[in-house]
């Protein structure tokens, strides 16, 4: 108590795993973020291509065929939590809504989601750590989450939090 939301990130602990390390039995793994640099949002050039967020979701959360015995992993289940940095900027709500609903029709952006700009204002450099805290805060042990950055006009970023045990 008594902390600003951006200061709460000091309580978040990370453990870096070597590539050959076994996964811990509890917690969440955060693979490298997927980042896409693209033409400015709202430009004609960008309107002719798939939304950057959709491209990143497909890259970060790939769909594996159920009968693909050569797939290294099955498709991760749909995220139970969604945290985005900003939906208040022009075009962000449409891009996020369209991309997320196309991929996961059952994901409720209101009930299962939080946006930093509406939750606590802009936390500055602590945005990513705060987004991870907010994503993890309501997850059960085997749940996953998606953290999305739409704030930059020419760059989009996606992180997936995947359960270790499961």
Radius of gyration, CA atoms only, the chain: 16
Distance CA 72, CA 163 (A): 17
Tell me the per-residue pLDDT of 20-71, one tens digit each, with 9 for 90 and over.
777 667 788 888 889 999 999 888 887 777 789 999 998 888 775 554 555 4
Tell me the per-residue pLDDT of 67-98, one tens digit each, with 9 for 90 and over.
455 544 445 578 999 999 988 888 888 889 98
State pTM to two decimals. 0.80
Task: Report CA-CA distances (Å) from 29 to 26, 87, 102.
Answer: 9, 26, 25
Distance CA 161, CA 83 (A): 11
Distance CA 61, CA 96 (A): 15
Spell out where the chain has E strands: 28-29, 34-37, 81-84, 113-115, 145-149, 155-163
């Amino acid at each position: 108590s008594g902390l600003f939301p951006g200061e709460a990130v000091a309580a978040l602990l990370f453990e870096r795993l070597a590539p050959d390390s076994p996964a811990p039995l509890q917690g969440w793994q955060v693979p490298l973020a997927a980042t896409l640099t693209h033409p400015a949002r709202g430009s004609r050039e960008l309107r002719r291509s798939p939304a950057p967020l959709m491209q990143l979701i497909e890259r970060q959360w790939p769909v594996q065929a159920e009968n693909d015995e050569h797939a290294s992993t099955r498709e991760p289940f749909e995220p139970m939590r969604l945290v985005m940095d900003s939906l208040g900027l022009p075009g962000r709500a449409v891009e996020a809504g369209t991309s997320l609903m196309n991929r996961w029709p059952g994901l409720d952006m209101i009930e299962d989601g939080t946006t930093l700009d509406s939750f606590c204002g802009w936390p500055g450099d602590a945005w990513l750590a705060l987004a991870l805290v907010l994503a993890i805060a309501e997850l059960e042990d085997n749940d996953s989450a998606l953290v999305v950055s739409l704030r930059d006009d020419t760059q989009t970023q996606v992180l997936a939090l995947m359960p270790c045990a499961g």
